[in-house]
Amino acid sequence: MFVDEAKIYVRAGDGGAGCKSFRREAYVPKGGPDGGDGGRGGNVILRADGAVSTLLDYRYIRHYKAERGIHGKGSMRHGAWGDDLILPVPLGTVVRDDNTGEFLADLTHQGQELIIAEGGRGGRGNIHFVTPTKRAPAFAELGEPAEERWVTLEMKLLADAALVGFPSVGKSSLIARMSAARPKIADYPFTTLAPNLGVVKAGNNSFVVADVPGLIEGASEGKGLGHAFLRHIERTALIIHVVDLTGSYDERDVLEDIAVIDGELESHAKELAARPRVLVGNKIDVAHTAEASARVRAFAEEHEIPYFEVSAVTGQGMDALVLRVGEMVHGLRAKIVEEASSAEVRYVHTPVRERSFEVKRTDSGGYEVVGRSIERMVIMTEIGNDEALAFLQKRLVKAGVEKALAEAGAVDGDEITIAGVTFEFEGVPVTDEELEFIEDDEIEIVEGDEVPIIEDEPTE
Ligand SMILES: Nc1nc2c(ncn2[C@@H]2O[C@H](COP(=O)(O)OP(=O)(O)OP(=O)(O)O)[C@@H](O)[C@H]2O)c(=O)[nH]1
Ligand SMILES: [Mg+2]
């Protein structure tokens, strides 16, 4: 089976919790706070790897979790960071968010990476919350929960040229003649059920050609087998449109065949109609095919498309076809590389630094505050701890949440919901001096911070 699609669930590692602890020393009744920070959780990363040829493995194992960050410990020890989980995928894998359908990335180059789920930040230990008025904070931050999501992976064949046409026109016979590929060949339609790839040597060039299952009228709407494989054609630089000069399939007319296939390509994707192509009239060895060939030739000349009459059986005309396709692919490839290098990995990720938030009215007459960084402040707070709660309240004041709520009409006693936690609105007078000591949310805990890392060194 040719597997080209998979749907997987990924979950990054949760951040480890910060530690609240106090120094214990002989003869010192109460030492200062010394709780270390929690470690960052590991990311889940997709990496394009030419050694992987299918997405098959992702059909069998669908759940992937990165390691969590370790909790901080006393004596200023930071928790270890969780290891990233790296998932290798074939070159040409397109990644989408399964829930929203949003395009996340097209992994085409060897080694190209995409963070598909970001690990949670580690919580800060209590040493971070010392202020002149509170020298012994008895609280620390919880770790940030990790990102999780379902994504779909879709692999598109990376062939330079695709043999496209009605069933039984001789596409598989042609790829067998041109390359070492040995697909099944038979005189009934839909012999080829999955694309075959072959490497073709053309003078000093070589190119990869795909033999795609036959298309029929309505393929773009799901008729026949061609539908699933039209997608593979999207990625090829060149289309080798093959017609049967004997017109044997369904007693068809060659020019009608050409028009039908062109129509299917176009209705599948507009840009396919403009894709460079060559026309190939196959089975010229059969008697009475010269007239059909002449008609195709006239059509090709009129539309300025290169035309070749060939026989996959005798080999007639094949050298000229292969050489010309080799040249065209060579030129097109140079253009594609140029375009690809300007395309960046587009991983759209709500940055944690996003400070904006929104205040909404709730059905119960209260207010809800929505915004990632504000929600995160709440999620990382040990709600049952009064000191932690008081600190959170100051942070919310500093972030402008209290002001925004008051502006929206909130008065003391109103219900305020943030990240699923409900508070009672209560305007507290906080001095500017007090706010000064509220650390900014975005202080990154990195290796080499003023806190020594005693054990469990971060892996990055
Ligand atoms: N006489 C003659 N017969 C050919 C030639 N090329 C292919 N055939 C025959 O045409 C039939 C179909 O060939 P395939 O190569 O299987 O055709 P296909 O386009 O791959 O067909 P599907 O995979 O079903 O879409 C087979 O019986 C081949 O032997 C040719 O150049 N001359
Ligand atoms: Mg075939």
Beta bridge partners of 10: 64, 149
Cα of 49 from ligand 2 centre, angstroms: 29
Task: Please indicate, yes or no, whether the overall pTM of this predicted structure exceeds 0.75.
Answer: no
pLDDT at 145 over 80: yes
Ligand nearest to the CA of 167: 1
Nearest to 92 by CA among 50, 152, 44: 50
Site to probe by mutation for ligand 1, drawn from 2, 163, 166, 172 as the one with most ligand atoms within 8 Å of Cβ, is: 172
Query: What is residue 351's predicted lDDT score, i.e. its pLDDT?
Result: 46
Distance CA 220, CA 399 (A): 53
Which domains occur in the chain, in start order?
A: 1-155 (2.70.210.12), 161-342 (3.40.50.300), 358-436 (3.30.300.350)
Written as one string, the DSSP assignment of 47-108 is: EE-TT---STHHHH--EEEPPPPPPPBTTTBPPPPPPPEEEEE-TTEEEEETTT--EEEEE-
Query: What is residue 341's predicted lDDT score, i.e. its pLDDT?
Result: 52
Look at ligand 1, atom 27, and give the residue with the nearest C-alpha. 187
Ligand nearest to the CA of 240: 1
Quote the percentage of the chain above a pLDDT of 90.
Answer: 43
**Closest-lying ligand 1 atom to the alpha carbon of residue 286:** 1
The pLDDT of 386-414, averaged and rounded, is 89
Q: Which residues line ligand 1 (CB under 6 A)?
A: 167-173, 185-187, 189-192, 213-214, 282-283, 285-286, 311-313
Written as one string, the DSSP assignment of 120-143 is: PPPPPPGGGG-BTTBSS----PPP
Cα of 193 from ligand 1 centre, angstroms: 14
Look at ligand 1, atom 13, and give the residue with the nearest C-alpha. 170
Cα of 173 from ligand 1 centre, angstroms: 5
Look at ligand 1, atom 7, and give the residue with the nearest C-alpha. 170
Confidence of residue 456 (pLDDT cuts 50, 70, 90): very low
pLDDT at 224 over 60: yes
pLDDT at 54 over 90: no
